[in-house]
Copies of this chain bind each other. A is one copy, B any other.
Amino acid sequence: MSNPASDDGRPLLVGVDIGGTKIAVLVVDRHGEVRAREVAPTAVGPQDQAAGAVAVVVERALSSAGAATEEVSAIGVGVPGRVDPLTGTVTLAVNLGWSDLPLGEQLEARLGRPCVLENDVRAAVLGLHQRHVASGLDDLAYVAVGTGVSAGVILRGQLHRGARGLAGEIGHVIAQPDGPLCSCGERGCLEALVAGPAIARQAHEAVASGEVTALSTVAEPTAVDVYQAVIGGDPVATRIADNVGRRLAWAIHLLVMTYDIERVVLGGGVSHAGAAFLEPIQRELDRIRRTSALAREQLAPGIVELLPAGADAGAWGAVTIAALGRAGAGAGAGHGRREVGHVPES
C-alpha cells in the first residue's frame, strides 16, 4: 500500500468506517498487515457524542493491537454523508442526523493524531482499488444501494470527485419522469425506485392494494423482507425485485457508457440479499448484450460483481484515506476550491 503519511516514522494507520448501526475500526501497519480489527455494533449516536463514541472504538482497537496512540501516523474516517476533506467537517449526514460537525477536529483533539475524513462510498472505492478487489483495474465504480444510491468512481487509478466534489450522484439521475417523489424533491430519481425505502414502499403498495403475497404477513415489510420472499418464490416480491434489478442494470449501463469503466462493484444494505438481488441485474444486462453490439463491447460479462463478504472496503478505504493524508484528500478535490463530499446514505 502506498503510504506517504508513514514517512513520519510512525508505524500504524487507523481506518474508521462509520455506518448507521456500527463503527468498524482497522489498525494496519506500514506493510498493510492488519494489527487489529474492532467492530462496535452500535449506532454512533447524536453529533455531540460522535467523536467520543468513535474515539472509544479506536482506543479499544489500538489496545487489541497492543499499540499506543503515538504509534499512529494518521486516522482515516469514512462517513455516510457529505464531508469536507480539507477541513474535516461533516457537512450533512442525514441518516446520522448530523450537520456541520467538525468531527475531524474533535477526533484530533481526543486522540492527538491527524484525522482525515471522506465520504464512505468514496472511501470504499479507494479501498477496493488499493486492495485490488476488482482485479487490479484502474477504472471502476462502487455503487452503494442502501438508504440511498450513489457511486464512488476511480478513473485511471485516481478517485474522481468532480469539479465541486459532487461526482457519483447517480441516485438522483432521473430514471422515470413523473415517477415516485424522491427525498431531493424531484420525481422518478433512481433512488426513489431502487433504494431500500423505495423497495419497502413498493412492498407496502402491493400489500395495500390487496395483492396475494407473503409480504402481507409482515407488519412493515422492508427490502430484506422482499428479498426473503423472493427466495421463497413469492411472485409479487419477485416482480418488485425484477423491476429493481432492471433499473439497476440500466444505471450500471449508464455508468459504463458515460465513464467507460471496466468494473462495477455493488454494495450497500440492499445488496446483502446476495443472489436474489444480483440475478435480476445480471439477467437484464444479458438482455442488453443480446440486443446491442455496442453494449456487448462495453458491458463485458464480468462487469458487475457483489462486494465480497468480509472485504471491509469501507474500513480499508479509510486506511487509504489515512495513508494519503489531508493533502491527498485535497488533491483529488475541486482544484483547490472548497471541497464538499456528496450526499449518499448507504
Residues on A lying within 8 angstroms of B by beta carbon are 137-139, 151, 155-156, 160-170, 172-174, 177, 182, 184-187, 246, 250, 253-255, 257-262, 288, 291-295, 297-298, 335, 343
Most B Cβ at <10 Å: residue of A260, A288, A297: A260
Taking chain A's interface residues, is the majority helix, strand, or loop, or is none over half, making it mixed?
A: loop
Q: Are B293 and A184 in contact (CB under 8 A)?
A: yes
CB distance from A243 to the nearest CB of B (A): 10
Contact across chains for A167 and B292 when beta carbons are under 8 A apart = no
Which of A138, A139, A170, A294 has the most B CB atoms < 10 Å from its CB? A294
Q: Which of B186, B253, B260 has a CB less than 8 Å from the CB of A295?
A: B186
Closest CB pairs A-B (n = 9): A162-B260, A139-B163, A167-B260, A186-B292, A185-B292, A169-B257, A166-B260, A184-B292, A184-B294
- In the complex, what's the smallest C-beta–C-beta distance from A255 to chain B, in angstroms? 7
Contact B294 A174 (CB under 8 A): no
Would you give 27 A-B contacts (Cβ < 8 Å), ordered by A?
A137-B163, A138-B163, A139-B162, A139-B163, A151-B258, A155-B160, A162-B259, A162-B260, A166-B260, A166-B297, A166-B298, A167-B258, A167-B260, A170-B257, A170-B258, A172-B295, A173-B250, A173-B258, A174-B253, A174-B288, A177-B250, A184-B295, A185-B291, A186-B288, A186-B294, A255-B258, A258-B258
